[in-house]
A and B are shown apart, each in its own frame.
Chain A
Amino acid sequence: MSLMKSLMGAAAAVALTAGAALAEPALIFDLGGKFDKSFNEAAFNGAQRWADETGGSFREIELQSEAQREQALRRFADAGANPVITMGFAMADPLSTVAPDYPDTKFVVVDVTWLDAPNIRQIGFAEHEGSYLVGMLAAMASKSGTVGFVGGMDVPLIRHFGCGYAQGAKAVNPDIKIVANMTGTTPAAWNDPVKGSELTKAQISQGADVIYAAAGGTGVGVLQTAADEGVLSIGVDSNQNHLHPGKVLTSMLKRVDVAVYEAMKAGADVETGVFVLGLAEDGVGYALDENNEALVTDDMKSSVDEARQKIIDGELEVVSYYENDSCPALKF
């Protein structure tokens, strides 16, 4: 009997360790899709880097509709995935329902910072700081004194981008005109390059000669049209300078890849709580590589780097759109 007991105990222990070894991380992409060349693709790159370095594997799903959010979360949590990494502000509501049901699973969410649960690592980015820097670059590169902003879906997060951008542009040239448009008010706005193109053409005809796209897949159309029409564009989230070499002024980097990589590296022991990554943590920044080095002069670079240092030191404050749901430099 006791032999039987110990055998069963051993079997149970083996099963347990096997279970622990199976606890691979899971990644849930938002509606923009894994290869949006932007936000979600950055997450995928971070996860891939982790997989390449450690030889581990991760589960993933690309959401196709709003209804799948909660289902995907529960599936992964039930399957023992740990941590479950999710992308985008729209995961906030499903997470707040699902997370309490799985107290032993760690959840990670990017772009959400307001939930109250002990097992969620919430990662926010100070997008307004990064956007401020590219706004300065835009204003310095603009010859017409008009710069443009194309947002995706009209949500506070995207206004947050636009607000930082406008403040940066105004800091360089107080008289600058900023044309800001949103693509739409439904999630389809993240994937409508045709509308992105039309918005870009409309902004160009209003005089804009540098256009910042914070619009997921729609941004592909913005960058394309800007390149076709001979004006500069600014990419977002991932480094998009390579899409049209010499035509993309810079990209506002949001190091989602680093955030995902680090969460996966920490595995099931990932630290929970709210983390906001800004310029000081290198969570945001602007991209400079061989594709755009001819566009960014040394003067532009030094003044932007100076502003960056000031923001880090706290000498310069970029107002966040979230503070009072309005922007001092731009009216939406």
Chain B
Amino acid sequence: MEFLTVIQILDSTIRLATPLLLACLAGLYSERAGIFDIGLEGKMLMSAFFSAAVAALTGSVWLGLLAGIASSLALAGLHGLASITFRGNQLISGVAVNFLAAGMTVLVAQDWFQQGGRTPSLFGQGRFESAEFPLAIGPKDSEATGRPVSELMAETNILHQVYSELFSGHSILVYVAFLAVPVTWWVLFRTRFGLRLRAVGENPAAVDTAGVSVVGLRYAAVAICGVLCGIAGAYLATALQAGFVKDMTAGRGFIALAALIFAKWRPWHAMGACLLFGLLQAVALRFQNIDLGGVVIPVQVMDALPYVLTVVILAGFVGKAIPPRAGGEPYVKER
């Protein structure tokens, strides 16, 4: 295998891992605070639709991003209301969010655009352009020389290839996603807010005794989760694609959830898990059936691997995945 092919697969890995990473960090905040969230998928989908719809209507992708985040926040608020204020079952509330998003997006899209549950194609300012770093090879060089990017890429040296393919040429949201990893680590493990947030997921009674609002902290965590899911959805619809198509998240919210368990609820590990799952997808897309010296691995194996790995982790073969102790339990103040 050529070196350039490896680079291209890694490049694809970054694109595929970004929505997973954003959703995974979103789940991390929520679950660390003791609110299980299987509605990541629904929130992403809702945001994907509203970001694409508003970007199509206004022609501004930034307004689209805001609308996407707002719609995702609204669903997060709903989840919070059901599971924090009314102490409902968090899993059921999450499922409801997923169903609500799957139905609402198509319904509203059909009402607004009459294109069968999709938005019009976005162009120009309606999409996130890929950022091109100085000196990196990109579409502009291709236009200037009249030759395809892949040809130009093949001629340059290895460092330049890595720089141009891996670091340059992504949408700004990709950099946001990867920047969110150290920020999350810092917030959770180096700030007072983070300490309380983690405590509320382990032992809310202790936090309450200390005079800190359990409900307030949990709402804050759910809101951060909504914002991150909103960015993930907007990335799918306005950066990777040029518009919304029904069910376009295609289960990415659930893979993110698997990654979260795989990473044992830790930010840096979450990045590792998302990159690993992204890599598996990228390899599956690049090579349909992998021939390993006579043994052919069918593409389905690669598609199933994220889930298989998660089950292996959960079964306790590779360390133990212990969720936050108060996760899934509504907090009831003692009287």
Taking beta carbons and an 8 Å cutoff, which residues of A are in contact with B? 33-36, 41, 144, 181-182, 184-185, 188, 191-195, 197-199, 201-202, 204-205, 207, 209, 217, 220-221, 224, 228-231, 243, 332
Contacts and interface: CB of A to CB of B under 8 A. Distances in A.
B289 to A, nearest CB: 9
B12 A191 contact: no
A201 B10 CA distance: 12
Contacts of B243: 220
Contacts of A332: 288
Interface stretch (B90-98, B113-121, B170-178, B183-191): B113-121
Contacts of B4: 205
B240 A194 contact: yes
Contact of B248 (A192, A224, A230): A192
A188 B142 CA distance: 35
A202 B12 contact: yes
A231 B150 CA distance: 12
B285 interface: yes
Contact of A194 (B116, B241, B246, B300): B241
A194 B288 contact: no
B288 A198 contact: no
Given A194-B240, A197-B241, A182 B288 contact: yes
A197 B240 contact: yes
A205 to B, nearest CB: 5
B132 interface: no
Contacts of B89: none
Interface string B6-26: 001000100110000000000
B299 interface: yes
A35 B242 CA distance: 17
Nearest to A198: B285
A199 B285 contact: yes
A217 B118 CA distance: 10
Interface of B: 4-5, 8, 12, 15-16, 115-118, 121, 139, 142, 148-150, 236, 240-243, 245-248, 250-251, 281-282, 285-286, 288, 299-300, 303
B285 A195 contact: yes
15 contacts: A35-B116, A36-B116, A41-B116, A181-B288, A191-B246, A191-B247, A191-B248, A193-B241, A194-B236, A197-B241, A198-B16, A198-B285, A217-B245, A224-B241, A228-B242
Nearest to B150: A205
Nearest to B236: A194
Given A201-B12, A220-B245, 6 more contacts: A185-B299, A191-B245, A191-B247, A198-B15, A205-B8, A229-B139
Contacts of B116: 33-36, 41
| Nearest 3 Cβ contacts at the A-B interface | A35-B116, A205-B8, A192-B250
B134 to A, nearest CB: 22
Q: Chain A binding site: helix, strand, loop or mixed by DSSP?
A: helix
A230 B139 contact: yes
Interface centre among B115, B116, B288, B299 (most CB of A within 10 A): B116
A41 B114 CA distance: 13
Nearest to A227: B242
B53 to A, nearest CB: 15
B319 to A, nearest CB: 31
A217 B12 CA distance: 21
A104 to B, nearest CB: 33
A207 B299 CA distance: 22
A79 B130 CA distance: 53
Contacts of B248: 191-194
Nearest to B282: A198
A168 to B, nearest CB: 21
B142 A202 contact: no
B117 A194 contact: no
Contacts of A191: 245-248, 250
A202 B8 contact: yes
B20 to A, nearest CB: 12
A193 B245 contact: yes
Contact of A195 (B8, B150, B250): B250
Given A35-B117, A191-B246, A198 B12 contact: yes
A231 to B, nearest CB: 8
A332 B299 CA distance: 12
A215 to B, nearest CB: 12
B282 A185 contact: no
Contacts of B142: 230
A326 B282 CA distance: 27
A144 B147 CA distance: 11
A204 B153 CA distance: 13
Contacts of A184: 303
A257 to B, nearest CB: 16
B241 A185 contact: no
Given A188-B250, A198-B15, A230-B142, A35 B8 contact: no
Interface centre among B121, B139, B236, B303 (most CB of A within 10 A): B121
Contacts of A185: 299-300, 303
A144 B150 CA distance: 11
Given A181-B285, A198-B16, A205-B8, A224 B300 contact: no
A60 to B, nearest CB: 12
A33 B117 CA distance: 9
Contacts of B299: 182, 185
B252 to A, nearest CB: 8
A204 B250 contact: no
Nearest to A200: B285
B133 to A, nearest CB: 19
Nearest to A154: B299
